[in-house]
Amino acid sequence: MDIHRVIAIALGVLVTTGVATASAQAASLSGLDKTYLSGSIQGDRFEIAGGKLALSKSQNAKVRALAARLVKDHTKSLAESSRMAHHFGLDVPKAPTPSQRWELQILGTLSGPAFDQWYSRLEVADHHQDITEAADEVTDGTDQQVRGAAHDEIPILRTHLRLSQDALKAS
**CA dihedral (21, 27, 30, 33) positive or negative:** positive
Residue 110 CB partners (closer than 8 Å, separation 6+): 57, 118, 119
Instruction: Note the pLDDT tens digit of each residue in 110-154.
Output: 999 999 999 999 999 999 999 999 999 999 999 999 999 999 999
Position 15 pLDDT exceeds 60: no
Position 55 pLDDT exceeds 90: yes
Q: Which CATH class is domain 29-170?
A: mainly alpha
Q: Which helix (H) or strand (E) holds 92?
A: none
**Which pLDDT belongs to residue 25?**
53
User: Under a CB-based contact definition with an 8 Å cutoff, are residues 146 and 137 in contact?
Assistant: yes
